[in-house]
Every structure is written in structure tokens, then in C-alpha cells.
Copies of this chain bind each other. A is one copy, B any other.
Amino acid sequence: MPRSHALPVPADAPLVRARRQRVQAAATGVAVLKGLSRLDGRASLTALAAQLGESPAKVHRYLQSLVEEGLVAQDPSSQHYYLGPEAIQIGIAAMRQADPLRAAEPALARLRERLEVTCFIAVMGNKGPTIVRFEEPGLPVTVNVRVGSVLSMLWSATGRVFLALADDSRVEAMAREELASATPEQRQQLDPHDPLGRLREEVRSLGMACIRDVYLQGISAVAAPLYDHSGRVRAVLTALGATGGFDASPQGPIAQALAVEARAASAVLGHRP
């Protein structure tokens, strides 16, 4: 059978082009919506057209369509356009879908591959910071963690991030409880006058927690927060390894990569720094 070398049937082309134009138009409608959102949700036609780099006449046509769909409304006194009730509903549905586990999974995979370290995501459970997902590198010997493990509030890097950055009364209560039942050796690792306050200060100034041989002898870890749209810490991303082969310094490559990944996952959750 002879192989055909013909180009795609030309008769298809107008249909394909028309489809592409329609999809392009849909993208323009969405761009108008995003433009209004960037202008804090409210703008004059002139300001919005300038922001989008489009003619006011064109932007006006798309706005009419968005007004009909309830995503945009027009203030009768100022004539300004603003994001309307349907935009609120879409935002609420999007916030409900924002899942820290899903947002941070690609980060786990990238950290494992790039840095060959064990890394995990922890959320605040009712017993304390709890590991919910982890990745380990394909090395012969690795430091392992277990899904479901509850970590220390005061002596793990993960716990310290929650302690310093989560606005949660349970966190404070759990930290005080751990402090009360700490051994003299554990207490020695903390500031004698203001143990919780100093831990918080340190984490807040770095934006992350870095520990070396604190929780477990021979183990170091760095941990960074995942924020959501409201600025709340929803989860903590942690990388750990054997102290000898793991650079836990805040300026080291592991901490820096972790910070970049935590910011990217936070952006997926709707966080704007």
C-alpha cells in the first residue's frame, strides 16, 4: 500500500481557524476578568482598557458579556465596573478546592530528585504536627519517616514552623504542654527566660526552621510553611537527612530550594506574599 504524503485536508482549515478564534475570544473574556481582579476588583472602563492594552470599545463588549453572566456589575453612580456575586461564588468554590497536599506534591518529587533528600508534608492534626505524605530518594541508605507520625512541637523543625507562624490556640497549648514535661537536657536547648518567644523569633526572622541534632541525634532538618489565600499556614514542607551529609544552614542549597518550593506551593493555594 502506498503511503500518503498529502497535507491535512485543506477543507478543515476554516473550521479549525474559527474554533481557534472562539477559544481566543474566551481567553480575552478571562483576561478582562483577571485585569479587573488586578485592579482590586473595581475600575473605570478607561483604566481597565489601559491595564489590558486593549481598546475601550473592545473591552466594553467583553464587559457586557461578563455583566450578563453575573461575574461583573456596574456601579450606577460612578459607572465603574466591579467583580460581582458570581465571581464570589467561583472564588469560594476555588478556595474549597485548594488542597495543600495536592499543591505540594510536585514540590516533594522535585526536592527528592534534585537534592536526593527525604522530604514530607505535615499538617496540624489533633495530636500535633502530623506527617501526611512523604518522598524518599532512591539511595541505598536513606532517612525514613512514616505517614501518620506526630512530631514534636518544640524539638522538630516542622513543629517550630507551626509554633512560630500558625495562628492557632491549640498550637500554643501543645507547646506549653511539651515544655512542662521536657527533660532537663531538652530544656537546656531552649532559652531559659522566654523559650517559646525566642523559638518564634528565630523562625519568623528566617521564614523557616533549621535544626541540627535537636529532635534526634544525627538528624538535621529544614522546614518551611505553606500559606493559603488568607495567609494561614495550612501545611509545612520539611526536608531531612543524616547530619553528616545534610546542610541544614538557612543559606545552604537545601534550605534555599525548600523555600522556593514552599513559595510556589503557597501560590497554588492562592497566597500572595
Contact = CB atoms under 8 A, between A and B. Distances in A.
Interface of A: 19, 21-31, 33-34, 36-37, 40-42, 61-62, 64-66, 68-69, 71, 73, 75, 82-98, 102, 229, 267-270, 272
A31 B88 CA distance: 15
Q: Which of A61, A84, A89: most chain B Cβ within 10 A? A: A89
Nearest to A81: B97
A90 B90 contact: yes
B95 A91 contact: yes
A198 B148 CA distance: 46
A102 B73 CA distance: 11
A37 B97 CA distance: 10
Contact of A30 (B22, B31, B71): B71
Contacts of A27: 29, 65, 68-69
A92 B19 CA distance: 32
B98 A94 contact: no
- Contact residues of A: prevailing secondary structure: helix
A71 to B, nearest CB: 6
Contact of A272 (B37, B42, B89, B94): B89
Contacts of A25: 21-23, 25-26, 29
Contact of A92 (B64, B85, B229): B229
18 contacts: A21-B22, A22-B25, A23-B64, A27-B68, A30-B66, A37-B94, A40-B93, A41-B94, A82-B94, A83-B94, A85-B94, A85-B98, A85-B269, A87-B90, A88-B94, A88-B98, A89-B229, A90-B91
B34 A90 contact: yes
Contacts of A94: 37, 41, 82-85, 87-88, 91
B268 A85 contact: yes
Given A61-B23, A65-B23, A82-B97, A270 B92 contact: yes
Nearest to A69: B30
A28 B30 CA distance: 11
A88 B26 contact: no
The 10 closest A-B pairs by CB, nearest first: A91-B91, A26-B29, A41-B93, A88-B270, A83-B94, A87-B94, A22-B25, A25-B25, A41-B97, A37-B93
